[in-house]
Structure 1
Amino acid sequence: MIRPVPHIGSMAAYALADLGDEDTISLAQNESAFPTSPAAIKAGRDAMSDLQLYPDPEWSDLRAAIAEVHNVDPTRVLCGAGSMELIGCLIRAFSGRGDRVLGTDYGYAFVASASAQVQADYVRAREVDLTVSVDDIIVAVTPETRIVFVCNPGNPTGTLIPNSEILRLRDGLPADVLLVVDQAYAEFADQIHDPAEVFSLTDRGDTVVLRTFSKAYGLAAARAGWGYFPSEIATELRKLLNPNNISIASQAAAAAAIRDQAHMQDVVARTGEIRDRYAEECRALGLTVPQSHTNFVLLRFASTQEAQRADLALRADNLLMRGMGGYGLSDCLRATICEEAVMDRCLLALKGALA
Structure 2
Amino acid sequence: MIKPTRHVARMSPYALAELSAPEGKRLISLSQNESLRPPSPQAIAAATKAMTAVQLYPDPEWGALRAALSDLHGVPQSGILCGNGSMELIICLTMAFADETGAVLAPANAYPFFRTAAEHARARYDTAPEDGIAASVDALLAAVQPDTRIVFIANPGNPTGTRIPRAELFRLRDELRRDILLVIDEAYGEFSDHLGEFVFDLVGHGDTIVLRTFSKAYGLAGMRVGWGLFPEGIAREVRKVMNPNNISAAGQAAAIAALADQAYMHETCASTALRRDRFITRLRRAGFEVPGSFTNFALIRFDSARAAKGADTALRAEGVVARAQGGAGLPDCLRVSVGQAEELDLAAKLLERWADGGVI
TM class, shorter-chain normalised? over 0.9
Write the distance in 1 (CA, Å) between the matches of 2:41 and 2:162: 31
- Report the residue type matching 2:146 in the other structure: P
Q: Is the 8 A contact 1:306 1:354 kept in 2?
A: no
Amino acid at match of 2:232: S
CA distance in 2, matches of 1:307, 1:202: 39
User: Which deviations, in whole Å up to 9, do the C-alpha atoms of 1:58-100 show, x marking residues without a partner?
Assistant: 1011111111110111121100000000000110000111311
Report how far residue 327 of structure 1 moved.
1.8
SS at match of 2:322: strand
Residue type of the partner of 1:181? I
- Aligned to 2:279, the other structure's residue is in SS state helix
8 Å CA contact 2:165–2:197 kept in 1: the answer is no
Equivalent residue number for residue 7 of structure 2: 7
- Tell me the residue number matched to 2:20: 20
Q: CA deviation at 1:187?
A: 0.2
Secondary structure, counterpart of 1:158 in structure 2: coil
Match for 1:9: what amino acid?
A
Contact residue 55 and residue 248 of structure 1 kept, 8 A: yes
Distance in 1, Cα, partners of 2:326 & 2:337: 17
SS in 1 for 2:153: strand
Matched, 1:302 2:274: no
Residues 322 and 334, structure 2, Cα contact 8 Å, conserved in 1: yes
**Mapped contact 2:109–2:330 kept (Cα < 8 A):** no
Asked if 1:132 corresponds to 2:143, the answer is no
Q: How is 1:238-277 mapped onto 2 (pairs within 5 angstroms)?
A: 238-277=239-278
1:308-331 deviation per Cα after TM superposition (whole angstroms, max 9, x unaligned): 221122112111000111122121
1:113 and 1:40 mapped to 2: Cα distance?
A: 31
Cα shift at 1:351: 1.1
**CA distance in structure 2 between the aligned counterparts of 1:305 and 1:107, rounded to whole angstroms:** 22
For the residue of structure 1 that corresponds to 2:194, the secondary structure is coil
Q: How many residues align?
A: 353
How far apart are the structure 1 equivalents of 2:329 and 2:111? Answer: 13
Counterpart amino acid of residue 138 in structure 2: D
Which aligned pairs between 1:108-119 and structure 2 lie closer than 5 A? 108-119=111-122
Gapped regions of structure 2 (runs ≥ 5): none
Aligned partners of 1:205 and 1:232 also within 8 Å? no
In structure 2, what is the Cα distance between the partners aligned to 1:99 and 1:205? 19
Distance 1:345 1:256 in 2: 34
Is this contact kept in 2: 1:205–1:231, CA < 8 A?
Answer: no
Distance 1:20 1:60 in 2: 40
SS at match of 1:280: helix
Partner residue, 1:319 = 320
8 A contact 2:111–2:328 mirrored in 1: no
Matched, 1:90 2:99: no
Corresponding position of 1:143: 146
TM-score, normalisation: structure 1: 0.98
1:220 paired with 2:231, answer no
2:48 counterpart of 1:39: no
Q: What is the Cα deviation at residue 194 of structure 1?
A: 2.8
1:205 Cα offset (Å): 2.4
Name the SS of the counterpart of 1:131 in structure 2: coil
User: Which SS does the other structure have where 1:330 is aligned?
Assistant: strand
Deviations 1:148-170 (A, max 9, x none): 00000000000011111100100
Aligned-partner SS, 2:309: helix
Contact 2:155 2:185 in 1 (8 A): yes
**Partner AA of 2:263 in structure 1:** A
For residues 102 and 64 of structure 1, what CA distance do their matches in structure 2 show? 33
RMSD of Structure 2 on Structure 1 (CA): 1.0
- Given the alignment, which residue of 50, 70, 74 partners 1:71? 74
> How many Å apart are 1:178 and its aligned residue?
0.5
